[in-house]
Structure 1
Amino acid sequence: MVWRVGVDTGGAFTDVCLCNESDGSAVVGKISSAPRDPGQAVIDGVTKFLGEYGPSLFEVGYFAPGATVATNALLQTRVLKTRGATTHGFRDLLELGRQRRPKLYDLTARKADPLATRDLRFEVSERVNCLGEVEGPLSEAEVRLAAAILRDADVKSVAVCLLYSYLNSGHEEILEDELSGVFTTTSSEVLPEFREYERLAMVVINAFIGPVMQGYLSRMRLRLKEAGLPVEVNATQSNRDVTPFEAVETQPGRTVLSSPITGVVGAVRLAVRVISVQRGYNPVDSVVAGPGLPSGILPPGEFSRDHPPL
């Protein structure tokens, strides 16, 4: 007998779902969350309901928790200050964005404050062109000076986004090596594709929640292993896929929408089944639609959204 376990950790409650793969039966339970240590509520909930319904942790064949920990950290902005490193001349990119205002015709409209404020961002002299060729070498003196300043300031996380680093990540890797001991996240690892603002925004989000999420994920993974979980722990991502915990520990920005998207995926699957049963449709031919979805036919069991999450 093999059980699949899904957990959703919220600010108030932690929901646990146990699914028996042999007969398809499922059990759902709820316990209070532990805001100071969300991972403990996951372990307590899984242990409690496995104990109540018979199976042991050794019978679990699949384990994938989702959580609003990253979402809450991002919304509440109650985390450590984040530093940012950019190519010389690109320090203000977070404020400039794509020059879009919250309200197009309101001249007094204010944008939200960036997660890494201007005084916490620094520039380094270097230049890689659009072909990935180095036109200006990275200034090692500036890198060493910046690293020393960051260490003296007891900075816990740094976001690095250099021009065209998705084509040539060499300079970002040098910065990352120099900043060892600090949670450093580079755009060439997190989002290696063109469009500078989007890369910078994503890498800042990753660095902003990184220290909090890394501690939460690593502690929970080790506790589950010590408790006897025989399988690898997977984390739900914002794109509804799952990935091993160890990968998300360095790129926690992937999990910001993990909890909401899991609810949407579950609702879509359930709706397809309900429609097919109540109306005699074949699930393969069923289409799920809703408010805000574009007109036209969506692929079976698929869903869409008006705007991307970034």
Structure 2
Amino acid sequence: MSDQEFAILRDVRATRPEAVAEAAANRAKRPLLADSGKLMLVAADHPARGALGVRGDGDAMADRYELLRRLRTALRRPGVDGVLGTADILEDLLLMGELEDKVVIGSMNRGGLQGAVFELDDRFTGYDAASIARMRFDGGKMLLRIDAEDPASVRTMEASARAVDELASHGLIAMVEPFLSSRDGKRVVNDLSPAAVTKSVAIAAGLGGTSAYTWLKLPVVEEMDAVMAATTMPALLLGGDPSGDPAETYATWARALKTPGVRGLVVGRALLYPPDGDVASAVDAAVDLVTKS
């Protein structure tokens, strides 16, 4: 994108805020699942939780203009079905015309700021079900981290259960991303053992008064067969924090994608900020894995 295109975007935001609703009302939609029955989504909701780092760069995602350039590249690659993000990012993409015929998932709870003492009291500070329905998006995503020693976790559980019900009442997908977590000093650490992930699946699947519209967003761990045996719900695999050799990461994703019940990938930083900077190639490699799964 050129500086002039960004200038136009800023001008529209300043002078025609109603343009967001107009673009949402006129956006071309598509079915959630294409003929393949798979989904490849790009995640871009990290900044709203104060999580700006990628690998060794603590401020990699701080430049909104660079993030939008990378998102535009990713969304235009063949096989990318859509995006998951907060309102600020999704509305930029909407005004840019990048959400036509895309699956769009609104991120709901971003109040558990990275490193905060209240991180596990993950308040719903983003979308709610009504605003997602009003924007004609396809669903909402919620992060559910549970620490048995932190009483704040139960408030997040309760809010997530309510969100599952509210989304279902609109016929919208509730994408729940569960973890069993604990604190290592000031840092929240997710337990990625197969037993812990399986237990988190059981907890997440039971949220709300209906599970008809619930999907799960799960980490790639060892023994994915055992993890997915804990539920009949559809699941998407998350890319997680990018680290290590991308080739090894892709090989791990490829194995996990073949697990019954897994419907695709939701990947953010690993594809938007690859080590070599080639977003298009990173996205194409991930799309190829989903296509072959």
- After TM superposition, the score normalised by the length of structure 1 is 0.29
Point out the structure with max Rg over C-alpha.
1
- After TM superposition, the score normalised by the length of structure 2 is 0.30
